[in-house]
Structure 1
Amino acid sequence: MKKITTTLVVLSSIFVFAQQKSKSKNQSFQSIGKTVTVYTTAESTNLRLTKTNNLTFSELIQPIETQICVFVNPEKTFQSFLGIGGAVTDASAEVFAKLSSDKKQEFLNAYYSKDKGIGYSLMRTTIHSSDFASASYTYVKEGDTELKTFSIEHDREFKIPLIKKAIETAGGKMTLYASPWSPPAFMKSNKVMLKGGTLLPEYFQSWATYYTKFVKAYEKEGIPIWGISIQNEPMAVQTWESCVFTAEAERDFLKNFLGQTMKKEGLGAKKIIVWDHNRDLMVQRANTIFGDPEAAKYAWGMGFHWYETWAGGSPMFDNVARVHEAYPDKNLMFTEGCVEKFDAKNYQLWANGERYGNSMINDFNNGTVGWTDWNILLDEKGGPNHVGNFCFAPIHADTTTGELIYTPSYYYIGHFSKFIRPEAKRVSTAVSRSSLLSTSFLNKDGKMVTVVMNQSEASVIYNLCVGTQATQITILPNAIQTLVY
């Protein structure tokens, strides 16, 4: 009797599993009968995230060599999408405060509303000052090793109000992480916050505690902190706030101080991001930190920037892929990028937007889960910046006229952030011509989003192919499209 009962249980389990498998298979993405809605932004036109077409699929079993194609395979999925957003710096918050109430609302909607804007869901902010502030500052008085004077009062004037308004506009949810540019001057070898230097060993614990105080202070203000990065650009000696950590130094600070302190203070669930610098040295940093089990257990993943092109070369997208393939259990996040060397004549320079599209598509296709722009807002001078490092933002405010200036970068970012939502899964996508770039994500609501970018000076007619179904689409020169289906 026992043997019969066991057999029935086993058969029942097999039947349930088969049903679940069949159900899962039946729920796989199907393109038959779907409408493809096309949104376009293109140079030398008025098209800006504009709905330009509604198309339907038909059968295309075997494309020929002369047919240009974007191939999407919903059966092959990869990383889960965390979000896209930008940084709320002191500079952004100071400029925002100068806007009229109408322009403030327009600005908030432009970034954080899914319906009226481009639906940002990710945010970075600074732990005390960066170069994008009117002056250097910290949260403690000079020499306060025990951090008894720790206070975020400075941030209550500009930064905290903007962060709160952004979260509210986004519907009350935001993945927010914070990064320091430098420890306080007294903790450093060079005794200033600027121009590099290193963290002195006698302050390792004080500095580790500083992060926890920041997180707790912000959360007391009603602002949830998702995570922190250890140090912004740890291999750069900058004229602004900076601090050098070699790979070994960052590894040892993480495993011997920061990781343990976060856990001890009840913040062990917060994410810790390492590196937070350019793609050039990211593989070596990953090998050093992720290769050490005691350090790796505290690291959620690695952040990276796009400024490796300072040396005159091309973006090193392959290094992102190398880290992803070597450490697939660690997450990758683009934590900063902007167009450097502000010049008001270049507000509408199309190449600036294309730089974003190129980076975002390549970074996502190489395993990146989230993508964070730098300042969300700057003034008509590319600042404020207390060391004159003026840069571009996707939106600028002319504080003399009160107007907002939308650059091509804003629209290129929007082709991703407006349509790809948190928890979407990246889907296998390939192109048959090098003039096109493409990536795809399947949202939790079942909508597929494919972004296609035309890098050429000519219009391209291509087929969006999903299995044996396809639809023909025209993309204008130097344009980007989002296809939702």
Structure 2
Amino acid sequence: MKKTYLLGLSLLLFACSTERTEDNTIKESSEFSAEGKIITVYTTSKDGENKLSIGDQLAFSQANQPLETEIAVFVNPTKKFQTFLGIGGAITDASAEVFAQLPEDKQEELINAYFGSDGIDYTLLRTTIHSCDFASGSYTYIEEGDKDLNSFSIEHDQQYRIPMIKKAMANASDTLVFYASPWSPPAFMKGRENMLQGGKLLPEYYQSWANYYAKFIKAYEAEGMPIWGLTIQNEPMAVQTWESCIYTAEEERDFLKNYLGPTLAKEGLGDKNIVVWDHNRDLISHRANTILGDPDAAKYVWGVGFHWYETWAGGQPMWDNLRNVKESFPDKELLFTEGCVESFSQDGYQRWTNAERYGRSMIKDFNCGTVGWTDWNILLDQNGGPNHVGNFCFAPIHADTNTGELIYTPSYYYIGHFSKFIRPEAKRISTTVSRSTIISTSFLNEDDKMVTVVMNDKDEPVTYKLIVDGWETETTIPARSMQTLVY
């Protein structure tokens, strides 16, 4: 299915007011209300052609006491919370290998769709330290057994991954916050034949592995790709069929405070932001309590990363655990480091529940104090890969490598309802709803534009009031829809 990736995206991102011409295109309007309180609404809906589409302009009037029979979103601009870092995704080997197979015009389209100002304007980017499952094979940057790292080289990444990352950075409208994560140390550092199926970093290699991070950062930065930070270990409590490594909370704490933190400082990399945990919400409190409760470890920690896969066994997302960590350690940040929809099938490209999983998670994660949100692979092929252990998954955009066409899924547009409008350094603003029929979050950008995102995952449209600081307006969100209101 060929999709045009943009909405009619010739619209200006934060225009206070727009209007449609006779040919139904969008142009900028200079019309403002006396109070400057005009609301522009963007909608993506399951039933219809709306894909981040601009709708009618709304105006505020003086608010009245809401009734219990009404549905309302309450925004209190005087109550501000965390500072927004950004939203983005990961350029893995899989993404880069697929990207390299695309025609030049489709490569340009893909980069602009994610990173351009007339796309969904990503500001976060993650990559891997050597291989993960989303690659054609398993590899490291050194010769096996090279404890001193004399053979260290990122030559492997220069074929596909680095060129794609550089294109993303060159086309981004804002400087990308770029961070990296390892899936496993080299096999010999675990005393194993390969990096797959768990294992533990052996104590005699703690220093070598800490040095490996420093060499990676310096090698990437020498290529002109500034590294904002790193996570210590992807999913440190999961024995996976792919590259993986287990750390107890105490082991991660001690590796950080005795090896990784001091090594980065010694190597002149003490300004890099270190993220601990990088796993699901279920055990996040225990990991945070153990590491952040130790001052010698906590001094190296910027924040705590998390994924959404605690739902893999049919459980519910553990958002209360995020709130607990933020309340317990208010000087540390929360960062969503990975999420994707598993169990790939081609008939699921347009499955709306995939997008709703993104929308629900993003709203609730932000409302619990999360500052940034990172999707997994930004691009996969028509088979949900490549993946060298058969762990095929969905991405917001897929490419059919046989035809060279890009396939845009609803998840792309749902993510865009946040990433396109909420900009770095925005402040989250107090937002609640009067009924569980809808969910919502709001941010105030540095240019004083407020952004309120509302999601309706029900099969009926919902009419609601937006009540902000003594002003109100009324609108309807269609069934199974996402709306972004900019004012």
TM above 0.5: yes
Q: What is the CA distance between 1:58 and its match in structure 2?
A: 0.2
CA contact (8 A) 1:31 1:57 kept: no
Question: More helix by proportion, 1 or 2?
Answer: 1
The one-letter amino acid paired with 1:57 is F
2:99 maps to which of 92, 96, 99: 96
Measure the CA separation in 2 of the matches of 1:289 and 1:123.
25
Equivalent residue, structure 1, for 2:346: 344
Measure the CA separation in 2 of the matches of 1:298 and 1:60.
48
After TM superposition, list the pairs within 5 Å mapping 1:229-248 onto structure 2: 229-248=231-250
Equivalent residue, structure 2, for 1:185: 187
Residues 133-180 of structure 1, C-alpha deviations (whole Å, 9 max, x = no match): 000000000000000000000000000000000011104611000000
The one-letter amino acid paired with 2:263 is T
Equivalent residue, structure 2, for 1:464: 466
Larger-gyration structure (1/2): 1
Q: Secondary structure at the match of 1:353?
A: helix
Q: What is the CA distance between 1:44 and its match in structure 2?
A: 1.6
Equivalent residue, structure 1, for 2:17: none
Equivalent residue, structure 2, for 1:444: 446
Equivalent residue, structure 1, for 2:37: 34
Measure the CA separation in 2 of the matches of 1:191 and 1:121.
38
The one-letter amino acid paired with 2:361 is S
CA contact (8 A) 2:60 2:471 kept: yes
Residues 362-405 of structure 1, C-alpha deviations (whole Å, 9 max, x = no match): 00000000000000000000000000000000000001111100
1:290 maps to which of 289, 292, 307: 292
The one-letter amino acid paired with 1:249 is E
2:85 maps to which of 78, 82, 85: 82
1:333 maps to which of 321, 332, 335: 335
Q: What is the CA distance between 1:61 and its match in structure 2?
A: 2.8
Equivalent residue, structure 1, for 2:416: 414
The one-letter amino acid paired with 1:34 is K
Equivalent residue, structure 2, for 1:43: 46
Measure the CA separation in 1 of the matches of 2:40 and 2:94.
37
Q: What is the CA distance between 1:97 and its match in structure 2?
A: 0.3
Measure the CA separation in 2 of the matches of 1:350 and 1:294.
46
CA contact (8 A) 2:276 2:304 kept: yes
Q: Secondary structure at the match of 2:354?
A: helix
Q: List alignment gaps of at least 5 residues for structure 1.
A: 1-29
Q: Secondary structure at the match of 1:304?
A: strand
Measure the CA separation in 2 of the matches of 1:261 and 1:270.
12
TM-score (norm. length: structure 1): 0.93
Measure the CA separation in 2 of the matches of 1:469 and 1:44.
31
CA contact (8 A) 1:33 1:56 kept: no
Q: What is the CA distance between 1:468 and its match in structure 2?
A: 1.6
Measure the CA separation in 1 of the matches of 2:252 and 2:44.
42
Measure the CA separation in 1 of the matches of 2:432 and 2:64.
17
The one-letter amino acid paired with 2:412 is Y
Q: What is the CA distance between 1:127 and its match in structure 2?
A: 0.2
Q: Secondary structure at the match of 1:207?
A: helix
Q: List alignment gaps of at least 5 residues for structure 2.
A: 1-32
Q: Secondary structure at the match of 2:301?
A: coil
After TM superposition, list the pairs within 5 Å mapping 1:60-459 onto structure 2: 60-114=63-117, 116-171=118-173, 173-459=175-461
Residues 78-116 of structure 1, C-alpha deviations (whole Å, 9 max, x = no match): 0000000000000000000000011011101100012x2
Q: What is the CA distance between 1:31 and its match in structure 2?
A: 10
Measure the CA separation in 2 of the matches of 1:205 and 1:244.
17
Measure the CA separation in 2 of the matches of 1:434 and 1:172.
35
The one-letter amino acid paired with 2:483 is Q
Measure the CA separation in 1 of the matches of 2:217 and 2:469.
47
Q: Which runs of 4+ in 1 moved over 4 A?
A: none
Q: Secondary structure at the match of 2:65?
A: coil
Measure the CA separation in 1 of the matches of 2:464 and 2:127.
40
Equivalent residue, structure 1, for 2:24: none
Measure the CA separation in 1 of the matches of 2:483 and 2:452.
8
Q: Percent identity?
A: 68
Matched, 1:480 2:479: no
Q: In structure 2, do the counterparts of structure 1 residues 331 and 210 end up closer, same or farther at CA, with 3 Å as the change threshold?
A: same
Q: In structure 2, do the counterparts of structure 1 residues 172 and 363 end up closer, same or farther at CA, with 3 Å as the change threshold?
A: closer
Residues 218-253 of structure 1, C-alpha deviations (whole Å, 9 max, x = no match): 000000000010000000000000000000000000
Measure the CA separation in 2 of the matches of 1:415 and 1:429.
17
Q: Secondary structure at the match of 2:370?
A: coil
Q: What is the CA distance between 1:455 and its match in structure 2?
A: 1.7
CA contact (8 A) 1:32 1:58 kept: no
CA contact (8 A) 1:31 1:466 kept: no
CA contact (8 A) 2:123 2:174 kept: no
Measure the CA separation in 2 of the matches of 1:441 and 1:32.
20
Q: In structure 2, do the counterparts of structure 1 residues 470 and 385 end up closer, same or farther at CA, with 3 Å as the change threshold?
A: same
Q: Secondary structure at the match of 2:216?
A: helix
What is the CA RMSD across the aligned residues, in angstroms? Answer: 1.0
Q: In structure 2, do the counterparts of structure 1 residues 118 and 285 end up closer, same or farther at CA, with 3 Å as the change threshold?
A: same
Measure the CA separation in 2 of the matches of 1:452 and 1:44.
17
Measure the CA separation in 2 of the matches of 1:411 and 1:476.
15
Q: What is the CA distance between 1:456 and its match in structure 2?
A: 1.1
Equivalent residue, structure 1, for 2:15: none
